[in-house]
């Protein structure tokens, strides 16, 4: 398989793929990886590839011309993927889909992103590695390359791929190695039994149990037999809120509104339980209800709106505005 990457920062790709499994896949000719500097397609003396956004706003946008020329020069019959926080979530199924192709071109955006017209005309799909915003598409492109490379035939032993998390829609169960006992904690006896059928059964049951516990939303689409589905353990009930945690939070200076938001119970319940636990409540006037001015200012600097901050802290927007005013003084 061949992967071409278009980026403003080609050096970022040097060390991650110079070692370990991807390096071996490259050396063995199973993966051909070529990293291209987008500035190589710029036409002016300063090698400019971006410009200010129409309509104003912060940051720069990749200009259509150098990007289109670069993609068209590289793509031949390849599939063009733009790494984007707005793309479909990149998951194991997407990795498998890309690994089945002969040629993929990965475009790593930067700054504010890419002129929309190029996405419409030259990009086959947009992929996101998660619901957060990174400074550039380089690390997402590396994530895609790594996940795809290990699926290429002969790169990793096929049997280890079969058991891995997400391959059949389940997380993998726990793994152990020697010694059989470490600091008093023993490896499950079945793994030492040499009984391969029992080990397989145990691993399968652990994978199902772990998926139900940690990622219950995956279980519906997982490949389970009807008998396994019928035996599915019930998801663990939401952990009860302990009095000790409420008391510790309150004694550390956090107000009852904020504790309520943190533990998902009402402020009245928090106060009632604190009183029942023998805590003398601070007078409402003296108490700082909600977050401190410094905390709100720090969160505000990440770009959240007043409304989002109010929801985050479980307080009113008036409280948020008040804290922001205090922080500005
Ligand atoms: C600062 S981001 C631009 C974010 C863009 N203005 C938006 O709101 O969607 C710069 C570049 O990083 C890459 N990027 C950021 N977050 C990403 C994610 N979660 N998955 C894939 N690429 C991402 C994209 O290539 C993007 O063009």
Crossing angle between the packed helical segments 243-251 and 256-263, to the nearest 10 degrees: 140
- Would you give the DSSP letter of residue 136? B
| Confidence bin at 286 (pLDDT 50/70/90) | very low
pTM: 0.77
**How far is it, in rounded angstroms, from Cα 152 to Cα 164?**
15
Listed ranges 5-9, 215-219, 237-241; the one with the highest mean pLDDT: 5-9
User: Best mutation site among 50, 85, 135, 137 for ligand 1, i.e. most ligand atoms within 8 A of its Cβ?
Assistant: 85
Can you give the residue ranges of every domain in the chain? 2-149, 163-236, 243-276, 293-328
Looking at the predicted structure, is the pLDDT value of residue 56 above 90?
yes
Report pLDDT for 284: 62
Give, using CA atoms, the residue closest to atom 18 of ligand 1. Answer: 85
Looking at the predicted structure, is the pLDDT value of residue 289 above 70?
no
Looking at the predicted structure, is the pLDDT value of residue 285 above 60?
no
Give, using CA atoms, the residue closest to atom 3 of ligand 1. Answer: 112
Judged by DSSP in three states, 97 sits in helix
Report pLDDT for 238: 64
Mean pLDDT for the stretch of residues 166-171: 88
Higher pLDDT among residues 314 and 4, named by residue = 4
CA dihedral 115, 45, 14, 165 (to 10 degrees): 0
Q: Are 47 and 39 in contact (CB under 8 A)?
A: yes
Report pLDDT for 141: 98
What is the atom index within ligand 1 of the atom nearest the CA of 111?
10
Looking at the predicted structure, is the pLDDT value of residue 305 above 50?
yes
| 163-236, CATH topology level | 1.10.1270
What is the atom index within ligand 1 of the atom nearest the CA of 114?
27
Looking at the predicted structure, is the pLDDT value of residue 288 above 70?
no
Report pLDDT for 235: 55
| Confidence bin at 282 (pLDDT 50/70/90) | confident
Looking at the predicted structure, is the pLDDT value of residue 287 above 60?
no
Query: Of the ranges 134-143, 228-237, 267-276, which one carries the lowest mean pLDDT score?
Result: 228-237
Mean pLDDT for the stretch of residues 101-129: 97
Q: Which CATH superfamily is domain 2-149 in?
A: SPOUT methyltransferase, trefoil knot domain (3.40.1280.10)
Query: For the CA atoms of the chain, what is the radius of gyration?
Result: 26
């Amino acid at each position: 398989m061949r992967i071409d990457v278009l980026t403003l920062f080609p050096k970022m790709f040097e060390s991650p793929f110079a070692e370990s499994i991807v390096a071996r896949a490259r050396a063995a000719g199973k993966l051909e990886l070529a990293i291209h500097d987008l500035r190589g397609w710029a036409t002016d003396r300063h090698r400019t590839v971006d410009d200010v956004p129409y309509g104003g706003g912060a940051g720069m946008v990749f200009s259509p011309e150098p990007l289109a020329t670069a993609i068209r020069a590289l793509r031949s019959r390849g599939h063009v993927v733009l790494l984007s926080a707005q793309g479909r979530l990149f998951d194991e199924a997407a990795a498998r889909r890309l690994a089945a192709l002969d040629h993929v071109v990965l475009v790593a955006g930067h700054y504010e992103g890419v002129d929309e017209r190029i996405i419409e005309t030259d990009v086959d799909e947009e992929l996101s590695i998660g619901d957060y915003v990174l400074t550039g598409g380089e690390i997402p492109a590396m994530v895609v390359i790594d996940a795809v490379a290990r699926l290429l035939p002969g790169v990793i032993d096929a049997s280890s791929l079969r058991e891995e998390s997400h391959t059949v829609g389940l997380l993998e169960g726990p793994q152990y190695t020697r010694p059989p006992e470490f600091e008093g904690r023993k490896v499950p006896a079945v793994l030492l039994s040499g009984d391969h059928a029992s080990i397989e059964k145990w691993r399968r049951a652990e994978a199902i149990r772990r998926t139900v516990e940690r990622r219950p939303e995956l279980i519906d689409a997982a490949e389970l037999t009807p008998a396994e589905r019928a035996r599915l353990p019930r998801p663990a009930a939401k952990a009860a809120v302990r009095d000790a945690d409420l008391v510790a939070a309150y004694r550390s200076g956090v107000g009852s509104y904020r504790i309520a938001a943190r533990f998902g119970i009402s402020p009245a319940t928090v106060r009632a339980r604190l009183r029942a636990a023998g805590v003398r409540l601070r007078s409402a006037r003296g108490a700082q209800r909600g977050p401190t001015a410094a905390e709100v200012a720090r969160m505000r600097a990440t770009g959240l709106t007043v409304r989002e901050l109010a929801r985050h802290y479980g307080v009113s927007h008036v409280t948020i505005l008040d804290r922001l005013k205090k922080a500005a003084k």
